[in-house]
Structure 1
Amino acid sequence: MTEAFSRAVDELGARVDGPMVWGWFGRTLSAGVRCTRFGRCWLRLVSAPEDKAMGKIWEGNALAAEYFDATVTKPALYESAGEARGGYAYRAELSQYIPEDVCSPLPVLGPDAVIPPDSWWESLRADLSTVAKAVTDRVAVRQEWVDRSVPRFLNLPAPQVTEWETAHGDLQPANLTSRTPYLLDWEGFGTAPVGYDPAMLWAYSLLAPAFAERVRETFPVLGTEAGRVARIIVITELMQSASRGDHPELVGPLRRMAEDLA
């Protein structure tokens, strides 16, 4: 990964200008860079086995740029480069540098989280409304997955999703900047149950009750039947993730919320 990152820096005419940041399980490697054409940028390198370097996750950020760079508060994608070597494929994405901290360095929001001002919530609500109206054949959540997974992880009947919209797909505190907010990491965007994005942010905020309550106030859809279904589906996703060892601190709150929503 480090050698591929160096090659991408050279190919894109940049130089590293900040610390290296590893992503989930070493799948990505990123850093601030400087580029003659664009100035300060963010360079993100993603890798996958060569035979799996395709589909939704691989092309997500590039397609999101086509859909949303002009309409949503997100980093603009400037340029991409790719290569295959040693059985792995690498995709480098040179994007707008955002000089803001994220709401949380980890997806799960801590109990001392600061609640952003009204303007932050208004901007987020407007952007998610724009995203929801986009027409795409990309899929973030499938009914077939719901049918299999809700009984398995929550011991509840699988809800039938009747209302769908386009979603960011991974709306958690580590993908939102703290001042504006900018929405980061679009590789998973696609069609999902109505209310899915707010439900995701709410679920990752359960250890910060005041923040979670503000999510519910900002997105009344969470109080509807569609929102109940979306929350059950998000809880199922996070329980599946917890079964692999991710975010065990959320398991108790998620189980209690699932019982309340049953």
Structure 2
Amino acid sequence: MRTHHAHTAKALDVQVEPGAEFWGWAGRTLGAPARTTTGAPVWLRLVSAPEDKASGKLWDGALDAQHAFGDLDGHRPALLAVHDAVDDGTAYRAELSVRVDQPALSDDPILQHDFQLPDSWWTDLAGTLEKVSAVDTDRVAVRQQYMDRAIPEFVGIPAPAVFCWTTAHADLHWANLTEPLRLLDWEGWGRSPEGFDAATLYAYSLLQPDAAARVRAVFPVLGSLAGLAAEATVCAQLLQTVSRGDNLTLADPLREWATELRRRLGR
């Protein structure tokens, strides 16, 4: 990965800054700060996959997002260039983006420590997600078949009816947000039940009651009939990860959320 990252930097004519590299899950991605020949700060991210798997929603997420959203009025780092290569059965895609100078709000997707964000930040987030939701796409982030299977298994209710399918970032947690507001990591965006992003952020806020309450206040779809399908889907998704040994600190509040969802349906 380091070798191909260096080759890509040369191909895209950028200079990687020494001493800083950031690895994604299982070494699948490698990112590092860099600068263009004019000194502009950029971010160079390399993703790898077996050659026969190098396609589809996750592979093309950043490129599709650039075409669909641009920079979202400055709230999304613009994608500047893409470089593809294949070596010995492995495909590599490099994505050169505008660098975000602010660190993510959390090192962990789960909010471990509460902090105060200005009202303007929440207003920007709500407005940005509304713009995202209005974009038409054939990309799918949540499938009805998954909901029909996972919600009864992990939440204990039939999959609620989806009143409206909208476009979502679909991975809206605290490690993908900055202040001032930037939304990071657009691999998995696509169509989801209305309120899916709000429900996801709420789920990752459950250890901090004040933050969770603020998410609910900013996104009134949560707690409504229209948002029930999204809430049940996110709850099922994360309870499924708990069953696999991940996100264990969320286990109890997720089960409490599932109980609330069953109560709302009279189950």
Partner of 2:224: 224
Equivalent in the alignment of 1:143: 144
CA deviation digits over 1:24-71, x for unaligned, max 9?
222111010111156110111111111111000000100101111243
Instruction: Give the deviation of 1:227 after TM superposition.
Output: 1.6
Cα contact 2:105–2:177 (8 A) shared by 1: yes
In the TM superposition, what are the counterparts of 1:127-206 in structure 2 within 5 Å? 127-177=128-178, 179-206=179-206
Structure 2 unaligned spans of 5+ = 263-267
Q: CA deviation at 1:254?
A: 0.4
Asked whether the 8 Å contact 1:123–1:180 carries over to 2, the reply is: no
Counterparts of 1:216-255 in structure 2, within 5 Å, are 216-255=216-255
Residue of structure 2 aligned with 1:105, choices 101, 104, 107? 107
Partner of 2:214: 214
User: Secondary structure, in 3 states, of the residue corresponding to 2:5?
Assistant: helix
Q: Residues of 2 paired with 1:38 and 1:234: CA distance?
A: 42
**How has the CA–CA distance of structure 1 residues 56 and 30 changed in structure 2, closer, same or farther, with 3 Å as cutoff?**
same
- What is the CA-CA distance between 1:106 and the residue it aligns to? 1.1
What letter matches 1:232 in structure 2?
Answer: A
> Aligned-residue CA RMSD in angstroms?
1.3
**Post-superposition CA distance 1:211-242 (Å, at most 9, x none):** 11111111111121122221110011112222
Aligned residues of 2:160 and 2:228 also touching (Cα < 8 A): no
Which range is displaced more, 47-56 or 157-166? 157-166
Contact 2:109 2:175 in 1 (8 A): yes
Cα distance in 2 for partners of 1:154, 1:260 equals: 10
TM-score (norm 1): 0.96
1:142 positional shift: 0.8
CA distance in 1, matches of 2:149, 2:87: 37
Percent of residue pairs bearing the same amino acid type:
47
Q: Is the 8 A contact 1:45 1:92 kept in 2?
A: yes
The answer for the alignment partner of 1:69 in structure 2 is: 70
Q: Give aligned pairs, total.
A: 260
